[in-house]
Amino acid sequence: MNNLVKINSERCKSCGLCIHVCPKDVLTIGEIANSKGYYTVEMKDQTMCIACAFCALICPDLALEVYREEKGK
Amino acid sequence: MKPIFTKTKGLTDRPFHYCPGCTHGIIHRLIGELLEEMNLIEKTIGVAPVGCSGFCENYFACDMIGAAHGRAVAVATGAKRARPDRFVFTYQGDGDGASIGLAETISAAARGERITSIFVNNAIYGMTGGQMAPTSLIGQKTSTSPYGRDAETMGFPLDLPKILTQVEGAVYVASVSVDSPQGIKEAKKALRRAFQVQLDGLGYSFVSILSTCPTNWGVNPVEALEWLQTKMKPHFALGELKVPTIEGGDAV
Ligand SMILES: Cc1ncc(C[n+]2csc(CCOP(=O)(O)OP(=O)(O)O)c2C)c(N)n1
Ligand code: SF4
Ligand code: SF4
Ligand code: SF4
């Protein structure tokens, strides 16, 4: 699998709710701070992502978009 | 790649001012998504409260009016009566809708105003520094109940949606929570039905949404979700508490 969670780092506030609800432990707080000083979320293991969009559903700050890899494309 | 989840056009691109992990943002998104999905952006007038969400007029992509504290439903009543062709909603905190605005809320329900109120219950006054709200739980520590809310001197929490079920003009009343992906999907369903009740001209629709305030509860965002689940949910009636008896048409 190569699904993608696209992260808009400038909107992320490092709240950790996406990490809390991800069933596959795909996300983590990274080591790069955005312009407001928040250490923003990163995908640590993209191959595990099942594109369930739980992370995007719970993100209060619209920082996440989810894309599913299409077979044979 | 196939988009599974992208940002709705029902919200502007402006980043939210809310604290990290505050679930006001989730509720904003659900409303924005429904405005887009139900093709309402161009015909909606939203009314903003006073409270942390007082700046929500910056975020919804529809027309917005800012009301004085507690008066959002009164302002919405005027907007809807002047422009019955518009979809009109209020966005209010529990302090706004159940404390200073309690009379306005119940009166609008009694009149069966064809508007929709979204009531964000975080059991506290967020904006002003975490004072006790009518919805604060027994034992809950707030800046004005530092030893915990004591029923003897401070009374009991008010379950506003439960009360509104007794008011004839309130035709759709639901109480939901945004503490999990599942809960968020159910909250969206309830909001969709509430919006439809207004579009069908049936009467007042009201959706209470249990929400977090990590900052004033003094916990981190994940702990706040857990506090909502374990402490708040058992104390408030949840689900679709009242649904219209007649679907469609003008009659209640
Ligand atoms: C007439 C008036 N009285 C009091 C206030 C102070 N005040 C501002 S917001 C607020 C309560 C907000 O709490 P809530 O409605 O629960 O919203 P939250 O901030 O928690 O989202 C109060 C008492 C005011 N602005 N105007
Ligand atoms: S889409 Fe699902 S599996 Fe992928 S990161 Fe988000 S929550 Fe985790
Ligand atoms: S839920 Fe959103 S704001 Fe919070 S850490 Fe995840 S991406 Fe950032
Ligand atoms: S004070 Fe509470 S309700 Fe207000 S933005 Fe912060 S977390 Fe949200």
pLDDT at B206 over 90: yes
Given pLDDT bands bounded at 50, 70 and 90, which one contains residue B251?
Answer: very low
Contact B202, B116 (CB under 8 A): no
How many angstroms separate the CA atoms of B83 and B78, rounded? 8
Look up residue B137 and give its two tokens.
């739980």
Is the pTM above the cut of 0.90?
yes
- Mean pLDDT of the region B5-25: 98
- What pLDDT is recorded for position A73? 57
Burial B115-126 (b: 16+ CB within 10 A, else e): bbbbbbbbbbbb
The residue to mutate among B23, B52, B53, B222, having the most atoms of ligand 4 within 8 angstroms of its beta carbon, is B52
How many angstroms separate the CA atoms of B5 and A4, rounded? 11
Nearest to B181 among A10, A54, A62 (CB): A54
pLDDT in tens, A43-60: 999 999 999 999 999 999
pLDDT at B37 over 90: yes
Q: What is the secondary structure of B216-247 as a DSSP string?
A: HHTS-HHHHHHHIIIIIGGGS--EEEE--SS-
Q: What is the secondary structure of A28-65 as a DSSP string?
A: EEEEEE-TTS-EEEEES-GGG-----HHHHH-TT--EE
Sequence ranges of the domains in chain B = 24-242
CATH class of A4-67: alpha beta
Given pLDDT bands bounded at 50, 70 and 90, which one contains residue B114?
Answer: very high
CA A44 from chain centre, in angstroms, equals: 9
Q: Which residues of B touch A69 (CB under 8 A)?
A: 1-2
Burial B2-21 (b: 16+ CB within 10 A, else e): eebbebbebbeeebbebbbb
The minimum CA-CA distance between A59 and chain B, rounded to whole Å, is 7
Q: Which residues of B touch A4 (CB under 8 A)?
A: 1
| Fold type of domain B24-242 | Rossmann fold (3.40.50)
Contact A62, B25 (CB under 8 A): yes
Tell which residue, B71, B69, B179, B175, has the closest CA to residue B125. B69
Higher pLDDT, A71 or A22: A22
Given pLDDT bands bounded at 50, 70 and 90, which one contains residue B247?
Answer: low
Contact B221, B214 (CB under 8 A): yes
A-B contacts (CB, under 8 Å)? 80
Could you tell me which residues are beta bridge partners of residue B208? B119, B175
Tell me what ipTM this predicted complex has: 0.96
Look up residue B198 and give its two tokens.
């207004």
pLDDT in tens, B60-77: 999 999 999 999 999 999
- Report which ligand 4 atom has the smallest distance to the Cα of B214: 7
How many angstroms separate the CA atoms of A62 and A16, rounded? 13
pLDDT in tens, B127-171: 999 999 999 999 999 999 999 999 999 999 999 999 999 999 999
Given pLDDT bands bounded at 50, 70 and 90, which one contains residue B202?
Answer: very high
Nearest to A67 among B2, B18, B181 (CB): B2
Furthest-apart CA atoms within chain B: distance in Å: 60
**What mean pLDDT, rounded, does chain B reach?**
97
Contact B126, B51 (CB under 8 A): yes
Give the best residue of A40, A57, A59, A65 to mutate against chain B (max B CB count within 10 A): A57
Dihedral angle of Cα A22, A36, B31, B238, to the nearest 10 degrees: 60
